[in-house]
Amino acid sequence: MSLLKLASGATAAALKKSSATQLVVSRASSHFVYSPDAKAPVEGPTQKMNMFQAINNAMDIAMERDTSALVFGEDVAFGGVFRCSMGLQKKYGKDRVFNTPLCEQGIAGFAIGVANTGATAIAEMQFADYIFPAFDQIVNEAAKYRYRSGNLFDCGSLTFRAPCGAVGHGACYHSQSPEAYFAHTPGLKVVVPRGPNKAKGLLLACIKEKDPCIVFEPKTLYRAAVEEVPVAAFESPLGKADILRAGSDVTLIGWGTQIHVLSEVADMAKKQYGVNCEVIDLVSILPWDKDTICSSAKKTGRVLIAHEAPLTSGFGAELAATIQEECFLHLEAPVARVTGWDTPFPHVFEPFYIPDKFRCLAGVKKLIDY
């Protein structure tokens, strides 16, 4: 959002005539400050990587150790629109890294067939917003394959990658967060990384997983997120949340980009109100870490859940319902949700749509004052 700073009291005509007048344009390009992980997840040599480089590294490792692994999707041959598959076709050939037609249903159907034969499929949906034409294939075919065959067959080693979330200028077709749609589907695994280390570890874990997985990658983190990432292969556990900051007064829960918003909120709450917030990255949407979430809720008695997706039936509703059922007698206030609004994702009004640090901090204050 641009802010035009003009000399006060000057008329438009005077401004045009004055060679001394300067027009200053500034842009707030991000609603968060990135908080890198404090340390690498495993011991050993590390390399500085942003998130798309870490994802590229994970796919490189997977293809090197598994000759059946294929990478495919729209424009992946030259590296993809976000450069995540850059250099892979040159290294592994056109038979293993290739473009597909602009048909998400076809990409998903082909991926299911590849996985059914015992090979490893790594399919890219160019944007998470484009995944909906593939919904039937993912939900009614991939997710149910093991169940309807009586465990004789499965759709394992099938991973869908999909860039998601706010990016500053994506509007309604390039900014959505559709994780809740898929969280309603038994048979799938759904994860959202917060940075390079999690992206690499989760992707490698999903590629090996014997049930189909979706990795929703916050696109605004592809370049903004930079960490020291282990060079060697490693896996991050699916279904396990991370406590990023211990606290005693309020539990803050989020995933993906929102974790970095909440980390800043925790700093602001401590400074302004003397409130100690516990910050939890849910990491895994399906399955999700009920034990970690409920233990924290019982300890603090106050919970705020924040996500970019709309409020109604967002995944925060599932968390809130479970916390209410499991932790009711420990709660000091109703579970709060700070989310996107129940509207299509806007373009110019994006700063008013996203659950930024100010809306989240107001939610914390409301919890404390309840």
Catalytic residue annotation:
104, 174
Residue 287: is the preceding peptide bond cis (ω within 30°)?
yes
CA 307 to chain centre: 10
Cα 162 to Cα 165, 264, 308, 325, distances in angstroms: 10, 26, 16, 33
CA distance linking residue 65 with residue 242, whole number of Å: 28
Cα 333 to Cα 173, 248, 314, 323, 324, distances in angstroms: 36, 14, 20, 12, 10
Q: Are 125 and 107 in contact (CB under 8 A)?
A: yes
- CA 334, 266, 349: angle at the middle one, nearest 5? 80
CA distance linking residue 342 with residue 227, whole number of Å: 34
Q: Are 277 and 248 in contact (CB under 8 A)?
A: no
CA distance linking residue 114 with residue 81, whole number of Å: 24
Helix axes 196-208, 51-65, angle to 10 degrees: 30
- CA 316, 165, 275: angle at the middle one, nearest 5? 50
